[in-house]
Amino acid sequence: MNSEPCRLRIALELLPVTDSNFEPRAFANRVGAWLSQAGPEPDVVVSCRVRLARNLAGFPFVTRLPERQAVELAGKLRESLRERSVDGAELVWVDLPEASNLGRLVLRERHLVSRDLAPVEPHREVPAGRAVTFSVAETTSAMVNEEDHLRLQGLASGLDLSLAFRRVRGFDLMIEESVDLAVSRRLGYLTACPTNVGTGMRASVMLHLPALGLVRTELEKVFTAAQRTGLAVRGMYGEGSRAAGDFYQISNQVTLGRREEDLLADLHSLVPCIVAFERRVRAALQEELGDALADRVQRSLAMLRNASAMPTEIALQNLSNVRLGRALGLLGDLVVDNLDALAVRIQKGHLQAQATDVAEGDLIDAAERDKLRASFLHQQFGAEEL
């Protein structure tokens, strides 16, 4: 056995991408800074996100926006952002009707666009005027002509809501310098959905709760506490998605009559309690069921190294177990980096984009994807002998 710790890494170099050469393959082989860096409380908190809903004055809401005006609006926004920079680099702009199904799917898996903005089903066309713009580091982005004219987003690693808010607020102020937004002196920012009127802000925290997931009665306490605080608990991809790999999003629900500071304070008051709760349950499980827990982690590690095919949910669950094992010191001298990036890179769009021997055309079927996923995981977890 090598005396040096076995370290598994993923290449994370940031490659500039522009709208004229947006290639899913190049894009899928790197990840954004919010996934490649560890923030506060990283054993439990994956990331924070703050979104701001904004609409341009003089244009109908998206539900009543004619195609001609949607294109005009997107062009106006694009021109206002031309030669602007975020994180020291020019913004990327992708016209979604021009992107391939695979490209839209990869953007969706990166949390840069929503399912509604970028459908990939064969029978659904992407309406003209839909786009996404983002910084190369992917810490700041905006969806164009989704539910609102603009859905701005700031992301940060770990439990750092303040940083996520500063990023999106800075982007918001930059846009307000060049376009007029729909604002009411009495109500605040006007939005398509009444629950977003006011600040237009949705803040969320992505949590990894494997111990609470093993004790469902304790996890239900988290759901109840969130609901009492006016927060919602959702799956990895937000509203309408299921929890997978023990990942949960906790976010605010109503913005009208609340200040940004109040909405962030709700999360700041609850999330640290959930983090402490998860850690207590982890410690109790390790004390009471230490051997069984270690066996669970090792079996997942063996599956990731040896399986011939692996569906997404099973892969995420095995990665969740290994992530828990890392936090509890159950991996021996194996040092595993970038598990959060892996949870994105095993999604179906990323798998196809990363596979050099698979065409970038139509999306491949589930059976072929499961084999690709297993092969990809072998490369990450079976590259070195223990």
Interval 139-153: pLDDT, tens: 999 999 999 999 999
Rounded to whole angstroms, how far apart are CA atoms 283 and 44?
13
User: What is the C-alpha separation between 188 and 196, in angstroms, rounded?
Assistant: 10
Q: Three-class SS of residue 327? A: helix
Instruction: Specify the amino acid at residue 87.
Output: D
Dihedrals φ, ψ of 183, to 5°? -135, 140
Global pTM reads 0.88
Q: Which of 82-86, 142-146, 243-247 has the highest mean pLDDT?
A: 142-146
Q: Cα(385)–Cα(383) distance, rounded to whole angstroms?
A: 7
Sequence letter at residue 369: R
DSSP state for residue 293 in the 8-state scheme? H
d(CA 167, CA 49): 10
pLDDT in tens, 339-359: 899 999 999 999 999 886 666
The pLDDT tens digits of the residues spanning 247-277 come to 999 998 777 778 888 889 989 999 999 999 9
DSSP single-letter state for residue 157: E
User: Tokens 């919010």 label which residue?
Assistant: 34
Longest dimension (CA), the chain: 69
- Residue 92 and residue 131: Cα distance in Å, rounded? 10
